[in-house]
Amino acid sequence: MTTEAAAPAEPEHRLHPMSWLFVLVAQLKQFIVPLIALFLFGRRDEGGLWPLIGVGVLAIGSLWQYFTYRYAVAEDALVVRSGLLERSLRVIPFSRIHNVAVEQSLLHRVFGVAEVRLESAGGSKPEATMRVLTLADALELETLVRRRGRAGPASTRAPGPAMPVADDGVAPDRATHAAVTTAPEPLLRMGAIDLLRLGVVSNRGMILVGAGVAAFSQTGGRLWSNLFERLGGSWEAWYGSNDLPLWQWLAGGLALLAAALVVVRLLSLLLAVLQYYGFVLSRDGRRLTVERGLLTRWRTSASRRRIQAWTLTEGLLQRWLKQRTLEVDTAASQQEGQARTLHELAPIAPREDCDRLIEELLPQARWHALDWQSVPMRGWWRRMLSTLPWIVLVTVALSVRFGAWGLLALAWLPWAAVQAHAEARRAGWTLGEELVAVREGWWQRYWRFAEVDKLQALRLTRSPLDRHFDTATLWLDTAGAGARSPQLCIRYLPHASADAVYRRLSSELARRPLRW
């Protein structure tokens, strides 16, 4: 929100004096690999000075941002000024700020500073990024947003040594300070055993595997060729060999698969420790805060009313360990990624702890008393239609390479049928006064639910198969849904039932105001 009606109630504040260094580091991240390659492998002539000139230009730009960036607190908004030749003025109402993220990397910790991002609902980028503030000012700004996130009069005290501000927007005096400032209430903590479980059940190690494959692909195959030549043969000769019997191919493939699974689990454990060490979910009034991370500490918070949808997940390994994952979608910027927004309320936790969190944060939904309704089984086979093209492609590829043995891939069809039948048997939905929920999956189970007031749009779709079997699919859209979030939809309902649910929800949404 940009406007010229800015009347800060306090003098403007600058960023931390070392903020230019962090701006420079952030700008250099996208150029660091080419610069290192140019310094190490480039020619030693006058052209080698160009990278230094580029770094100098970035450094000047970082200093320019420090000297021209200002922020101050107005009556009910945060005022941010930047630029000198091309001036920018942003007035950000506290009621518009949906998520506050505080980041502390190792470099931040050395200087005792933090980076703060203020995000709004559905924005393509944060409303403001303050790189960087002292840690005390960053936490005070987070407190200021938390206390004055609701519309109403606000005090005129700025972050820093300012007095805390109460929920009603009135700055208390020192005598009543203890009465309005309460300690956050911890809702969930993760210990070492939880991190071990998370590393075992998650596939986060594939992120590092993918990054490694991408890095090695830039070598043009020379690294791999040299490696196999040292082992006694060239890569091309080993790959082109057709003399090995099938059982050796299968044994080698199983051994490589087992080794890959072990490596992925170890990498997943490493990432779990780095990302979720010291995980704490706490509640301060209506605001939820998550703090986590080993090397880089993340602290992100959002108001409870900003949560748009919920996802409860239970994989096969999680079922064996009696664990689940609870995630939420918030109405905040999605461009920065889910790592910087309030997304995971419980990366992994016992089933009863996840149910307890839902009951505490959604008491009006009556999670344990929901009346689940099943989906008719007659269209169970439609759930396996999406896998048929992949089975055909794999079968053709293997048949070209191994001849008739490649037809063994068709053995996946019975398993796909069993899985589709099990998914259809478990699928269900429920619609209460305050909550709409669906449950799907069998191997990987999930529950997806949202408050009726948070629904953004309804869609009733019918494919040719739906018209033939007199069924329909009802899609329920909410704000803030990520690309990896399951769909909130009721599949393959009888058309009459789907239409009745559609009309009921349409009537409810028309009667109730939309809540963000």
Rg of the chain over all Cα atoms, to the nearest angstrom: 28
Q: In angstroms, rounded to a whole number, what is the distance separating the alpha carbons of residues 247 and 311?
A: 43
Q: Give the integer Cα–Cα distance in Å for 6 and 76.
A: 11
Q: Find out whether 76 and 148 touch, Cβ atoms under 8 Å.
A: yes
**Cα separation of 354 and 346, whole Å?**
7
Q: Using 50, 70 and 90 to split pLDDT, how confident is the model at 244?
A: low
Q: Which of 38-42, 188-192, 367-371, 378-382 has the lowest mean pLDDT?
A: 38-42
- Mind listing the pLDDT tens digit for each residue in 490-500? 999 999 999 99
Average pLDDT over residues 311-328: 94
d(CA 449, CA 488): 7
The token pair at 358 is: 């839902």
Helix intervals (H) in 315-350:
316-321
49 pLDDT band, cuts 50/70/90, is: low
Interaxial angle between packed helices 192-201 and 246-276, expressed in degrees from 0 to 180 and rounded to the nearest 10: 150
pLDDT band at 506 (very low <50, low <70, confident <90, very high): very high
Higher pLDDT, 33 or 14: 14
Per-residue pLDDT tens for 369-394?
899 999 999 889 999 998 999 999 99
Query: What torsion do the CA atoms of 337, 339, 343, 344 make, to the nearest 10 degrees?
Result: 150
Give the pLDDT mean for 247-257.
Answer: 79
Among 164, 163, 162, 159, smallest CA distance to 182 is for 164
Phi, psi angle pair for 399, to nearest 5°: -65, -40
CA distance 67 to 28: 20
**Residue 53: pLDDT above 60?**
yes
Q: What is the pLDDT of residues 437-490, one digit of tens each?
A: 999 999 999 999 999 989 988 999 999 999 999 999 999 998 877 677 888 999
How far apart (Å, rounded) are the C-alpha atoms in residues 377 and 254? 36
**Mean pLDDT (whole number) for 204-221:** 61
Measured between its terminal Cα atoms, the distance across the chain in Å is 18
Instruction: Please give the mean pLDDT across all residues of the chain.
Output: 79
The mean-pLDDT minimum among 37-46, 80-89, 121-130, 503-512 falls in 37-46
Q: Which strands make up the sheet holding 88-93, listed edge to edge? A: 70-73, 77-82, 88-93
Looking up tokens 């006058």 gives 46
User: Looking at the predicted structure, is the pLDDT value of residue 5 above 50?
Assistant: no
Mean pLDDT of 11-21: 85
Q: Given the structure tokens 């930047």, which residue do they identify?
A: 82
Strands (E), 408-462: 428-431, 435-440, 445-451, 455-461
Residue-wise pLDDT for 348-358, tens only, equals 999 999 999 99
Residue 484: CB atoms within 10 Å:
9
Question: Which region among 81-95, 427-441, 461-475 has the lowest average model confidence (pLDDT)?
Answer: 81-95
CA distance 24 to 28: 6
Query: Which residues touch 299 (CB under 8 Å, ≥6 apart)?
Result: 101, 102, 103, 104, 114, 142, 289, 290, 291
pLDDT in tens, 254-303: 888 888 888 888 888 999 999 999 999 999 888 899 999 999 899 988 88
Residue type, 354: C
Is the pLDDT assigned to residue 215 strictly greater than 70? no
For the cut 90, the answer to whether the pLDDT of residue 322 exceeds it is: yes
SS3 455: strand
Specify the DSSP class assigned to residue 13: B
Chain-centroid distance, C-alpha 194: 20
